[in-house]
Every structure is written in structure tokens, then in C-alpha cells.
Amino acid sequence: MYMENEIIHVAIVEDNDEIRETLSLIISGTKGFHCKHTFIDAESAIKELPNLYVNVVLMDIDFPGISGLEAVKELKPSMPEVEFLMLTIHQDEESIFQSLCAGATGYLVKDSGPAEILKSIEEVHKGGSPMSMQIARKVAKSFFQEKKENPLSEREGEVIQLLSEGFNYKAIANELFISPETVKSHIKNIYSKLHVNNSASAIKKAIKKGLI
């Protein structure tokens, strides 16, 4: 839990000497922040970080050996109270979402200024999920596209889910507290939206599209 006036202890995992040393100086030279531990590769971070006291880890993605993504995935379960903030040149959606799935809480690009990095460290320590503006836009755009690609309403989604679990029309009606006629109407709409004409095809297409 974050407490006001608390010193935020930061570790850096970065193989570029200039970037690593500059970040360390900026962080330790700012009131309320301290950077005592830095690592030049993921292997040494994986080995040593669990035995150190840190609140936030700035993690690059690209390393000659184990990647930063793999390091976060391995470290996060044993360090649940530590927040991992990616700091990388990568701006592609795959890197962003792989990082978040691995356990990172924030994502910054390396052209972020010192003030933005410090603010993000503080924000992630307080429980936020800071992202560089261009990264946040990509995440929002991807989420919008994903929502847009789902042609089914929430209720239709519930119906196709139950249909895939082997429920018949009457059982679906009982489960959702609606009439069998309403179930038939929903299924008719599902067939139309998914461009199919039977339940087996509807279920298959819904699974393929990730709707269930």
C-alpha cells in the first residue's frame, strides 16, 4: 500500500549503459525516489531481484538472452507486491499485450522524458497503470476494434454460450428467465449475424471469432 512521503525504491533492467546510468542518476537524484539496484540483463535480474527490496522495476524488452517479457512472467508470481513498468522502443500491439499478460502494470516508450518516467513510477506504485500516450491510444483502439467486431448483443452472447454447453431452448429459457419464444428469436438473430443456418455452425463460428 502506498503511503504519502514514502521513498519509492526502483530497480532498472537495461542493457544500454548510458540509458541505465542516466535513469539511475535521475531517479536517485529526485526527492522521494531511490535507485540502488541496476541490471544489465534479464538473467541477473531474475536471479537477484527476489532477494532485494524494491517497489518498482523498470524493465526493457530486448536482451541478448532471456527477454524482458520472460523475466516479468517469471518474476511476478514470486514478487506480487512489486510493480513492473516496461520501458522499451517497441510500440507494436503484440509487445504491449504480451507485456501486460506477463504481469507488467505499465508501458512506456524510451523517448519518454524524465518527468513522465518519474510520474509513471509514482503512478504505478500508487496502483495505476501508466502508459505513454501513443501506447494508450493503441490499447484503446484495439479494445474498440475488438468490441466492434463482436456482432452479438450481451444477451445473444449468453444464449450462444449456453447453446455451446449443450442447453436446449427450454433449458436456456429457464436459465436466463426468458420465454422459449424469446430464445428462438435470439437464436434467429445469432444465425443472421453470424451468417449461418444451424446451431452447430453458429457455435463453431462463435468459437472461431472468440465470442465464446
Model pLDDT for residues 57-80, shown as the tens digit of each residue: 999 999 999 999 999 999 999 999
For 210, phi then psi, to 5°, come to: 75, 25
| Helical H segments across 86-198, by residue range | 93-102, 114-125, 133-148, 154-164, 169-176, 180-194
Q: What per-residue string of b and e applies to 17-55 under the rule 16 or more CB within 10 Å gives b?
A: eeebeebbeebeebeebbbebbbbbbeebbeebeeeebb
The pTM score is 0.64
Q: Tell me the mean pLDDT in the region 159-170.
A: 93
- Reported confidence tier of residue 131, pLDDT bands at 50, 70, 90: confident
Dihedral through CA 101, CA 105, CA 106, CA 107, nearest 10? -20
Instruction: Give tens-digit pLDDT for 13-51.
Output: 999 999 999 999 999 999 999 999 999 999 999 999 999
Crossing angle for the helix pair 17-28 and 114-125, to the nearest 10 degrees: 70
Give dist(CA 155, CA 123) in Å, integer.
37
CA-CA distance, 204 to 179, in Å (whole number)? 25
